[in-house]
Amino acid sequence: MFPTLFSPFEIKGHTFRNRIFSTGHQTLIVTGGLPNDGLVAYHEARAKGGAGLIITEAMTVHETAFFNEAMIAAYRDEALPGMKKITEAVHRHGTKVFGQLFHPGAEVLGTDSYGTRTIAWAPSPLNHERYFATTRQLTPELIEEIIKGYAITAERMIEAGYDGVEIVASHGYLPAQFLSPLVNQRTDCWGGSRENRQRFLLDVARLLRQRLPASAIVGLRISLDEKDHLGVKPDEALAALAALEAESLVDYMNIAYGSSATSGSSPHIAPPMMIEAGYMREAGAIVKQSVRTPILLAGRFNQPQLAETALVAGEADMIGMTRAQIADPEMANKAREGRIDDIRACIACNQACIGHVALGTPISCIQHPETGRELAYGTRGRTEQPRRVLVAGGGPAGMKAAAVAAERGHHVTLCEASGQLGGQALLAQQLPKRAEFGGIVTNLAREMELAGVEVHLSTPVTVELARSEGADMVIVATGALAHLPEIEGAEDGHVVTAWQVLTREVNCGGSVVVADWRGDWVGVGIAQMLALEGRHVRLMTSSHAAGINLQPYVRDMIVGDLMRMGVAITPYARLAGVDNDTAYFEQTTTGEAILAEETETVVLALGHRSQDSLLAALTASGINAEAIGDALSPRSAEEAVLEGLKVGAAI
């Protein structure tokens, strides 16, 4: 179905079995800054799944290259055994593997093992906007030492069996900091003229050429446009690419957008669903017209159809489908075999992939929690004692539990009280620019179908039904309902829930206050939806910032949209009461009153309460039952699907 995507491609004598690659991305599956067996299993799953190339996560080239505690310190000898295990595992499945050479420069995110901030080194003194670091200017001697560090680390990678190495000059990291005339304010041979600003990157590439075997591939990752007020612009990036090509210093160019330096530019590192799928095609076309070197391209390619289209159009030679393979490690195999409906398409929610990295926890996926947990859940054997399992509830938790249990050989029946599968995901997809979230329903429903789950809609589970079904176990995934607390004066005002707004049960009028407790998608999403409808909207959140529980790239984009639309955001505001035209709030740290006058409607985004009455009834009747997801405790789709996996695998 995708002849170009699955045609072989050659770079410097290395043949890739197809044009699909996984970009370097931090996983946090490490132990003490060194690769571990979990990381080996993570990459092997994607190699086994059919990827043509895997670029493993950025590894530091020097002791000054500190980004966070979980970075793999590839400049250390101790990293060699773990790297060898990775390359051996990937090569077993016919996939090529490259290693990333990384120095963040000013981009220092975390702290050391004592919780203290390390020095952020950069070409020039700089106040880093996003990570709040004041940088220390690199000395000429340290610059030369770091350049040697790139070569030493690259040699170690080749010794470990990597087919090639990739210099990370993208997203505002150290080589890019040298390229930018607004970041690099040096007046010596490392700054000033364009030639001087390119010197660091070119010297790194030159030394790699000198020190590495002729067969080793040397590549580059660079942002064509960092989309940052101080960052690299297209003219600087294209000039650097031309200089590299003139000396034949790199064998491919991996093109990105964005920078880690600001809230406006960083979402391009892992573009959320608000950014159009395949939007990087334009960048690929621009670079393709400027250079002859092979081009790798990544950025929201979540389906093989998109990748094929870009390749046929001549916008790239290989396509990065990183989150696509986080969501579905078997994506490449499924596409090659024409099993398009079986692909678990990434919905770009960013919650458990880049979202976990922001939390300092290992990478995963809300749709496929097996990701990052390959050692525990990557292989599921068939049960020797099939049981009759009844699942109550067809939301994400119930669907995942049913699919996993049935895959293992149990006879599984899922009953959903409403006429449609999906639970709260059906509401989530109604929010602006969140339609893709509905993909989780489509994907989980397909998993159930393939596993042979028997599904009954408009069928609430009762004790009597569980008995008539002869269920050995009932999984209670009945979800939650919107929390509607007692609010002083509610009888005099117009108080509605976010759910009622989404289902169009109520008319909110022209002036709306959204009372947000949880700081997730609901509050900001409802505010955005109502503002787009032309209403005057105020968002009052009890936290210190709007969308505090969203992944930063997602939060920063939607809060920017709210500000652009004139939504007034008030932090530290706890709802206290209402009357016919005013909503009353308390400042959460001082208790002082905050009045939202001329309010027609107050929309509550105050979380949920579990629907767990069925669990109590089943337990009282002596029926084996276990609650998962929101029926156990209201949280998010991520916890729901993970608990579905755990209970389905444990039966």
* pLDDT one-digit tens code per residue, 603-629: 999 999 999 999 999 999 999 999 999
Measured at the CA of 276, the angle between CA 273 and CA 279, to 5 degrees, comes to: 130
Sign, CA torsion 485/585/427/349: negative
* pLDDT one-digit tens code per residue, 513-530: 999 999 999 999 999 999
Averaged pLDDT, 64-89? 93
List Cα–Cα distances, 307 to 111, 310, 500, 600, in angstroms: 38, 5, 39, 48
**Catalytic residue selected from 42, 162, 173, 252:** 173
pLDDT tier, 113 (very low <50, low <70, confident <90, very high otherwise): confident
Averaged pLDDT, 86-108? 97
H helices, E strands: number in the chain: 21, 29
Q: What is the pLDDT of residue 50?
A: 98
pLDDT tier, 67 (very low <50, low <70, confident <90, very high otherwise): confident
pLDDT tier, 118 (very low <50, low <70, confident <90, very high otherwise): confident
Sign, CA torsion 176/181/185/191: positive
Query: Is the per-residue pLDDT at 401 higher than 80?
Result: yes
Q: What is the pLDDT of residue 59?
A: 96
Closest CA to 27 of 366, 362, 367: 362
Active site residue 173: yes
Q: Three-state SS string across 126-176, please?
A: CECCCCCCECEECCHHHHHHHHHHHHHHHHHHHHCCCCEEEEEECECCHHH
Closest CA to 246 of 283, 291, 216: 291
Query: Is the per-residue pLDDT at 572 higher than 80?
Result: yes
Query: Is the per-residue pLDDT at 114 higher than 90?
Result: no
* pLDDT one-digit tens code per residue, 596-605: 999 999 999 9
Query: Is the per-residue pLDDT at 489 higher than 90?
Result: yes
Q: Which amino acid is at 19?
A: R
The span from the CA of 275 to the CA of 227, in Å, is: 14
pLDDT tier, 117 (very low <50, low <70, confident <90, very high otherwise): confident
Q: What is the pLDDT of residue 605?
A: 98
Averaged pLDDT, 313-328? 98
Query: Is the per-residue pLDDT at 636 higher than 90?
Result: yes
Q: Is residue 471 within 8 Å of residue 388, measured between CB atoms?
A: yes
Reported as type and span, the H/E element at residue 617 is helix 613-620
Work out the mean pLDDT of the chain and round it to a whole number: 97
The SS3 call for residue 465 is helix
Closest CA to 561 of 544, 537, 540, 543: 537
Domains and CATH numbers, the chain: 9-376 (3.20.20.70), 384-471+636-650 (3.40.50.720), 484-606 (3.50.50.60)
Query: Is the per-residue pLDDT at 115 higher than 90?
Result: no
Axis crossing angle, helix 396-407 with helix 439-451, rounded to the nearest 10? 20
pLDDT tier, 439 (very low <50, low <70, confident <90, very high otherwise): very high
User: Higher confidence at residue 127 or residue 115?
Assistant: 127
The span from the CA of 225 to the CA of 233, in Å, is: 5
Q: What is the pLDDT of residue 532?
A: 98
pTM: 0.96
Give the percent of the chain with pLDDT over 90.
95
Q: Is residue 169 within 8 Å of residue 220, measured between CB atoms?
A: yes
How many CB atoms neighbour CB 26 within 10 A? 22
